[in-house]
Amino acid sequence: MSGPGMSGAEARERIDKGAEAANAAIDLTEELE
């Protein structure tokens, strides 16, 4: 998940944003069903 020169904090931030996006996508698909 972390690229060269990326700090651990930056990597965690990216993972948090990815999790938020995944949750939003799940909410959307549940609404569509």
Q: What's the pLDDT score for residue 11?
A: 87
Whether the CB-CB separation of 24 and 30 falls below 8 Å is answered with no
pLDDT at 2 over 60: no
> What is the per-residue pLDDT for 1?
54
Please tell me the predicted confidence (pLDDT) of residue 27: 94
pLDDT tens-digit readout, 4-27: 777 888 989 999 999 999 999 999
Burial of 3 (0-12, 13-18, 19+ CB in 10 A): exposed
Distances in Å between the Cα of 25 and the Cα atoms of 2, 8, 9, 10 are 23, 26, 24, 23
CA-CA-CA-CA dihedral for 14, 20, 23, 25, to nearest 10: -80
